[in-house]
């Protein structure tokens, strides 16, 4: 998968973090392609998971501060994301199905970035335009 402009939601701080998540994802993809040993994949997955925790916490703090009306729902979606990752980490202990891992993260990234986070963008652009990118992308 390659980064492209359709991934940009138009809120600078969030887009910068999504790009970082994407870079973690590419590192995992490369590692799978190179058939790295299990412990390397495990390390990369841990790194991704911890960055993701940080990102989801930032997003939730932002939505809380601006009193986004559907923030509870968004929080729920984040809980299920972290649950899926925990399951994946557990599954990785018993197999080294790298292709499955890559598929999961690509799907997760597309769902979370392209769909999940779109729900608050219109609200922010309307109520807090100063948080949106100057370019208005």
Structure tokens at 36: 């790295």
Structure tokens at 120: 């608050």
**Interface residues toward Fe ion, by CB under 5 A:** 59, 117
Structure tokens at 126: 């309307």
Least distance from Fe ion to the Cβ atom of residue 95, Å: 28
Residue sitting closest to Fe ion (CB): 117
Least distance from Fe ion to the Cβ atom of residue 24, Å: 13
User: Residue 132, SS3?
Assistant: strand
Which is nearer to Fe ion, 40 or 77 (by Cβ)?
Answer: 77
| Residue 131: closest CA among 53, 54, 69, 61 | 61
Least distance from Fe ion to the Cβ atom of residue 2, Å: 19
Which is nearer to Fe ion, 102 or 117 (by Cβ)?
Answer: 117
């Amino acid at each position: 998968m390659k980064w492209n402009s359709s991934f940009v939601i138009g809120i600078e701080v969030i887009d910068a973090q999504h790009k970082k998540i994407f870079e973690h994802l590419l590192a995992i993809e490369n590692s799978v392609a190179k058939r790295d040993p299990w412990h390397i994949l495990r390390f990369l997955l841990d790194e991704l998971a911890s960055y993701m925790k940080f990102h989801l916490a930032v997003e939730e703090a932002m939505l809380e501060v601006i009193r986004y009306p559907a923030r509870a729902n968004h929080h729920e979606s984040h809980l299920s994301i972290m649950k899926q990752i925990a399951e994946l980490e557990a599954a990785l202990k018993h197999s080294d199905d790298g292709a499955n891992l890559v598929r999961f993260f690509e799907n997760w990234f597309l769902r979370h970035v392209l769909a999940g986070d779109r729900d608050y963008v219109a609200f922010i652009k309307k109520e807090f335009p100063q948080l949106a990118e100057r370019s208005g992308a």
